Amino acid sequence: MERLQRCGLIEQIDLLTLRQGCELLARWARLPKMAYLSLAINISARLLYKDDFVDLIEQILLDTKACPQLLKLEITESLLLNDKDKAVLRMQALRAMGIRFSIDDFGTGYSSMAYLQQLPLDQLKIDQSFVRDLPDNYSSQVIVRAILAMAQSLDLEVIAEGVEDQLQRQTLSDSNCKHFQGYLFGRPMEVEAFESTWMPIMEVPPAAVR
């Protein structure tokens, strides 16, 4: 990853991934059983701080005719260190289009109530390092409950990453976590396999397609 960043290729890879993701959303919109599915895509700091970032995203949406309300961009806490004010302005511009934002790996970086209040966020993702030792690790339980309580007070959705067994899921559910991601629900797979096996009547969807 660092080598890609030094070579300046990470921006091109991000843009290609975004375009492919939006093309996928547009295709799903034509399939009744999948039309409501959203897609989360990680973006790098280089792309977020690119001068024409907002224009590039808008053009991709126009080209692919993807629904912006079904696109979620995931950013990490450390990504915001470069220029938080600039990040906020760009996120607000994209939020006005309908795009949603999620903070990935929450709790492992530079968590701050101040920036949580300022950023136009929709979701926090509890890092799997806090989920891995549930239910045995009391400290992890306390941290998870604190994140959930804080998110609820800020009207943010929470998704727990790295859920691999029913005990972890039950512990999270008992703490009022309603959304989960991990091998318990599905492993990474090709898009074609996901589309052929997806069942909208499932209680919890498989892990997000990346």
Under DSSP, the state recorded for 65 is T
Classify each residue of 146-177 as buried b or exposed e, where b means 16 or more C-beta atoms within 10 Å of its C-beta: ebbebbeeeebebbbbbbeeeebbebbeebeb
Write down the pLDDT at residue 199.
Answer: 77
Q: What percent of the chain has pLDDT over 90?
A: 54
Average pLDDT over residues 68-74: 95
Predicted confidence (pLDDT) per residue in 24-38, tens digit: 999 999 998 899 999
Write down the pLDDT at residue 118.
Answer: 77
Count of C-beta atoms within a 10 Å radius of residue 37: 19
Write down the pLDDT at residue 205.
Answer: 43
How far is the CA of 128 from the CAs of 105, 110, 208, in angstroms? 7, 16, 15
Average pLDDT over residues 128-138: 92
Q: Are the C-beta atoms of residues 134 and 141 closer than 8 Å to each other? A: yes
pTM over 0.95: no
All structural domains of the chain with their residue ranges: 1-100
Write down the pLDDT at residue 208.
Answer: 42
DSSP 155-183: T-EEEE----SHHHHHHHHHTT--EE-ST
Higher per-residue pLDDT: 73 or 49? 73
Higher per-residue pLDDT: 77 or 110? 77
Q: Is 87 exposed, middle or buried (0-12, 13-18, 19+ CB in 10 A)?
A: buried
How far is 204 from 70, CA to CA, in rounded Å?
17
Write down the pLDDT at residue 10.
Answer: 78
Write down the pLDDT at residue 114.
Answer: 64
Tell me the average pLDDT of the chain. Answer: 85
How far is 208 from 187, CA to CA, in rounded Å?
9
- CATH level 2 (architecture), domain 1-100: Alpha-Beta Barrel (3.20)
**Token couple for 112:** 């701050």
C-beta pairs of 98-101 under 8 Å, 24+ apart in sequence:
98/67, 98/68, 98/69, 98/71, 99/57, 99/68, 99/69, 99/71, 99/72, 99/73, 100/38, 100/69, 100/71, 100/72, 100/73, 101/72, 101/73, 101/74, 101/75
